[in-house]
Structure 1
Amino acid sequence: MSSSADLLEDASAPDGPVTDGTLLRAARLGDQGAFRQIVDRHGPGMYRYARTLVGHEQDAGDVLQEAFVSAWKNLPTFRGESSLKTWLFRLVHRRAMDHHRTRRPVPVTEEVFADVVADVSGDPVRQAESRELLADLRRCLGELPETQRACWLLREVEGMSYQDIGDTLGLPVGSVRGQLHRARTTLAERMSRWR
């Protein structure tokens, strides 16, 4: 039987980085270092998603921490029917929805879209336009129904496939497509002045 160190050593060949599957197997054997690598790999995206859903840094940190505690406890029961990333985002989504039951949602912050907007640091006019565009997008996203908003964020910001979004949110792929279509249509109408 292989130890977690053997798994990680075998997987860190010059071919490339350690895969999620290898880290998962090692973490299931109790390797906290492997789990830390999972946290380092997927934590930033999970935090960004949590922050978008709950609106506050501290609340997002709490949601993320609860998701990772749940992940660590439930590693033995993860069946691998979805990717590790999808499963982790599902845990964040569930914790964020629990959070919403006790608090009112807050609008999306502009930091989520920092990578989406081109760097306009040398042009004050374009900086102002970018800030205004992001403020409108944040407002419009905040007005979307929760499922549409989650689908849009997971697709457009996190780059997840329709299947992974469905797995994360517990929706059939057809429903994901419908939710995305409605979200995109609504956003296109409300953001039409920016075309």
Structure 2
Amino acid sequence: MSDVTTADPSPERSDGALARAARLGDEQAFRVIIDRHGPGMYRYALRLVGGSEHDASEVTQEAFISAWRGLGRFRGESALPTWLFSLVHRRSVDLVRTRRPVPIDDEMLATQVPPAQDNPLQDVVDGELLEALQQALDELPWNQRAAWLLREVEGMTYEEIAATLSTTPGSVRGHLHRGRRTLAERMARWR
């Protein structure tokens, strides 16, 4: 049997190869998984927990701990990022259930709207738009908000979102449809 820890954990390795190596105890392969998927998982957690960097870090760290411990149960039936995002989702749900909702931080949403170029009026309009979007997202039911964030921000497919949220692609379509309709109504003045 070859020594797994000597395998090349380079970023070019597939998620499947990294997961198999990590399952066999290759910590370097798991570090590549963290480097590759950690930023997206953190962004998703940050939005789900209402913008608290501390809570998002805690949720992401707990998800990675669960992933390390649960790699033996990961069979590759879904993509590795889908499985990792589902761990973040479950940890976020647990955290939010025990806490009051907190609004999303404006700076977090600033990446969704490009900054104005030396135009004070446009800066004001952009700020108001972000505030309106934050409020509209905060008012969405949990599953609609999660589905919207995974689709629109993280670019996941309906199937990946369904696996992440432990639901069906049809339910995801419904959550997205209702969430988009609600956001469109609330953001109508910005069209």
- Residue 1 of structure 2 is aligned to residue 4 of structure 1: no
Map Cα deviations across residues 91-129 of structure 1 (whole Å, 9 max, x no partner).
000001110121112122233333321231422211111
Q: Does 1:106 align with 2:102?
A: yes
**CA deviation after TM superposition for structure 1 residue 45, in Å:** 0.8
Residue 116 of structure 2, aligned match among 114, 120, 134: 120
1:17 aligns with 2:12: yes
Counting matched residue pairs gives: 190
Q: 1: CA distance between counterparts of 2:111 and 2:4?
A: 36
Query: One-letter code of the match for 1:90?
Result: S
Structure 1 counterpart of 2:46, one-letter code: R
The answer to whether the 8 Å contact 2:109/2:134 transfers is: no
2:24 is the counterpart of 1:29: yes
TM-score, normalised to structure 2, is 0.93
How big is the shift at 1:5? 4.7
How many Å apart are 1:2 and its aligned residue? 4.3
Q: Do the aligned partners of 1:8 and 1:26 also contact (CA within 8 Å) in 2? A: no
* Aligned residue in 2 for 1:172: 168
Aligned partner (choices 174, 183, 192) of residue 179 of structure 2: 183
1:78 Cα deviation from its structure 2 partner: 0.6
2: CA distance between counterparts of 1:76 and 1:83?
15
TM score, norm. by length of structure 1: 0.91
Contact 1:3 1:29 in 2 (8 A): no
Cα deviation, residue 167, structure 1: 0.2
| Identical residues among aligned pairs (%) | 59
Cα deviation, residue 132, structure 1: 0.8
2:87 pairs with 1:91: yes
Code of the aligned partner of 2:47: T
Which runs of 5 or more structure 2 residues have no equivalent in the other structure? none
Aligned alpha-carbon RMSD (Å): 1.6
Q: Tell me the amino acid that sits aligned with residue 132 of structure 1.
A: E
* Stretches of structure 1 lacking an aligned partner (at least 5 in a row): none
Q: Deviations over 1:47-93 (max 9, x none)?
A: 11111111211111111111110000000111111100000000000
Structure 1 residue 4: deviation in Å?
A: 2.8
User: Where in structure 1 do 4 or more consecutive aligned residues deviate above 4 Å?
Assistant: none
Match of 2:55 in 1: 59
